[in-house]
Amino acid sequence: MSNINNMTSIKRLLAFIIDALIVVIVYTGTFYTLNEMGFDYARLLAIINSYIVMITFPVLVWKGQTIGKKILNLKVITLKDESSSRGLLFAREFSKCILFTGSSVILIAILLLFPLLNNKNKAIHDVFCNTIIVDLNTI
């Protein structure tokens, strides 16, 4: 079981990196495009656009999977081994966006290490929403 949790932790970190790269690309593309067009609130609109991308896929398209999780075959489920409801997924993804948006480097490091420091591989937003990440290859 420990090897499965360790592998899931590594895959989860890789999924986060993939998702972070996508957010950077979406944010940068949106910001520079709107900024060049003269929009006064280009930064705010770029953040909102990034939120939409990072919340839409796991909530509406792939029910429990961000793009990174989809690529690495990971999924969010409740502690009762059930698929998560759209409301719960929205709360989880939105809280994750809020936690990472305005955080310092130290807080982000703590947020990234948190799943490695507990036996259930749960991030802080998983604790709030009573969810876990499972590797679909192992179930």
The 10s digit of each residue's pLDDT in 79-136 is 776 666 878 888 888 887 777 776 667 777 777 777 777 777 788 888 888 888 888 8
Nearest Cα to Cα of residue 20 among 108, 88, 79, 95: 108
Question: Which pLDDT does position 73 carry in this prediction?
Answer: 93
Q: Which two tokens stand for residue 7?
A: 């592998």
pLDDT confidence of 1, banded at 50, 70, 90? very low
Q: Structure pTM?
A: 0.74
The answer to whether 78 and 131 have CB atoms below 8 angstroms apart is: yes
Distance (Å, rounded) from C-alpha 40 to C-alpha 139?
49
Return the bridge partners of 134, or none: 75
The 10s digit of each residue's pLDDT in 13-30 is 899 889 889 888 988 999
Q: What is the dihedral of CA 65, 106, 115, 62, to 10 degrees?
A: 0
